[in-house]
């Protein structure tokens, strides 16, 4: 093989690899946004076939409707990476929570199925004490 062709092929492969790595990091590891959401923890489970992940759903107070004349509750689905946070959430079903989360542009299977990843619990209250 021609040495110039070999060198060009190597440089081209390296550029493609660098671009792919940059895209992968931006899509799956760049924190797009973060914030706090409050609501009642509906369920929290540890599931998966190959990658066991922690997944949960929280029902937020208030109602939001896409069409006039209908009522729809607002659900916040999320994943959890940290086992200590997950263990705490396992004991909080039915309670009102404020959760701090990070939003990514995409989900990776070993982190969870959602692009919202909860990283800490801000507060836990019983439903009758929420907002006081």
Contact 76/60 with Cβ under 8 angstroms? yes
The single-letter DSSP state of residue 114 is S
Tell me the C-alpha distance between 56 and 118, whole Å. Answer: 10
Task: List C-alpha distances in Å: 30 to 15, 73, 104, 106, 107.
Answer: 21, 30, 6, 9, 11
pLDDT digits (tens, 9 = 90+) for 90-121: 998 889 999 999 999 999 999 999 999 999 99
Domains along the sequence of the chain with CATH: 31-129 (2.40.50)
Please name the helix (run of DSSP H) or strand (run of DSSP E) that holds residue 31, with its range, or none.
Answer: strand 31-47
Nearest to 54 by CA among 96, 113, 11: 113
In the structure, what pLDDT confidence band is assigned to residue 82 with cuts at 50, 70 and 90?
very high
Over residues 24-49, the pLDDT tens digits come to: 999 998 999 999 999 999 999 999 88
């Amino acid at each position: 093989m021609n040495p110039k062709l070999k060198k060009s092929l190597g440089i081209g492969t390296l550029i493609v690899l660098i671009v792919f790595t940059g895209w992968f990091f931006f899509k799956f590891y760049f924190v797009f946004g973060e914030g706090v959401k409050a609501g009642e923890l509906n369920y929290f489970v540890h599931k998966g076939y190959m990658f066991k992940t922690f997944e949960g759903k929280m029902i937020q107070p208030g109602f939001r409707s896409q069409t006039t004349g209908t009522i729809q509750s607002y659900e916040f689905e999320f994943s959890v990476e940290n086992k200590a946070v997950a263990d705490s959430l396992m004991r909080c079903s039915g309670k009102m929570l404020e959760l701090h989360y990070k939003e990514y542009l995409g989900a990776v299977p070993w982190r969870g199925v959602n692009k919202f990843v909860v990283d800490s619990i801000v507060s836990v209250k019983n439903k009758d004490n929420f907002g006081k």
